[in-house]
Structure 1
Amino acid sequence: MPNRDQVVRQVLAAIEWETRNDGQNSPIGLTFSAGTLMLVGEVANIAAKKRALKAAAGVDGVRAIADHLRVAAGSTPGDGATRDAVCKLLAGSIDFRNCGLHARVKGLLETLQDAGPEASGTIEVAVEDGVVTLSGQVISLSHKRLAGVLAWWAQGCRDVVNALAVVPSEEDNDHEIVDALHLVLEADPYVHADRIGIGSTDHVVTLEGVVSSHGEKSRAEMDAWYLYAVDGVINRLEVR
């Protein structure tokens, strides 16, 4: 069993290697004790965050990870504005029109949307220091994943804790990830979903097709990274 200093050195080396193409320049703080590794700091984007977590988890001796990595958000509008933006995106999505929608404001729960006649769940939104927490329940894993991506789209969001329960429960698989990403890309006004092919193997997404700009290519890739339980993205989109 490697000692604490060895684990920390190996994790730092693994993270540096994994995030080398993600524009990750800020140092990540590490604390390791009794098999639990805590990661603290700011990362360039969601890809750098997930790659860092995956790299750390693969180091011998790391049994659990406490994730306190936050994505750089630039100038932030404040937690209230971020919370309102998340709620607006959820309320504007046809997939959540029958969901109850609530916001946690200064410790109090405000109802923004009552559940429809065919209730499809309830979502509570809270934001603290740019971290969006989604709690409640939805009817499918696709809804859980879509809600999480909509939260990531909100200005000022630095991380998403997606604690939504799926009722009835569903077994996750790659087909579910593909279905969820189709929903996300169709909801994204900045990409042409019909031009993008999606595959997934062992929770690693592959994007293929033709897009009109490098910005659209990057946007589609970030949408895939934002998905709950996606571990990697291979971007083969061509710009024409």
Structure 2
Amino acid sequence: MKTDLQLKHDVEAELEWEPAVTASNVGVEVKDGVVTLAGHLSSLGEKVAAEQAARRVGGVRALVVELEVRLPGQDVRTDEDIAHIARSVLRWTAGLSDGAVQVQVERGHVVLRGAVDWPWQSQTAVRAITQLRGVADVTDRIEVRHTVAPEQISQDILDAMRRHADREARHIQVTVTEGTVRLSGKVHSFAERAVARGAAWAAPGVRAVVDDLTVE
């Protein structure tokens, strides 16, 4: 098991390795395997990239994000401009029907509302808006209409995991409550953990995924 000092070094190294992040703007603190990221970044996309980089590091038990987005002057946009561009981007995004997602903007903070049939459609909308210049934050309030019996969701996820990593599927427990999937158990790598999360998100009827998996 890594010490907190080793984990801090690995997270800092991963941030340096991530080309989308200016690592010098991110402070890293670790206590009992819980990693805290703090600092100021120039875009929401960079903030998301920093979070993803930290999560890739083995030994991270939990992640606390205290990163603030401070847009450089040339990237500042009016709320009206952001709303206009965001609506256009969503209209041109494959997999989203026209008008399925509505946009609200206040001081660069975007709230997405609406209803879609599948969880991946909501994720697609959030990713598309996250990369826009001038966006400081995105809140996802999109509802997923598709409903499936919990036992069917659980079986679909386990079947998908067995197709990708049969060994790990035997050690993963899946529980479903009102469309929220909780994954627990142990896997042998972060790649296998990613397979499990991907399988959960792809299953019909899933509204949220809670990842309690541990990497041995």
With normalisation by structure 1, the TM-score equals 0.44
With normalisation by structure 2, the TM-score equals 0.48
**Greater helix content:** 2
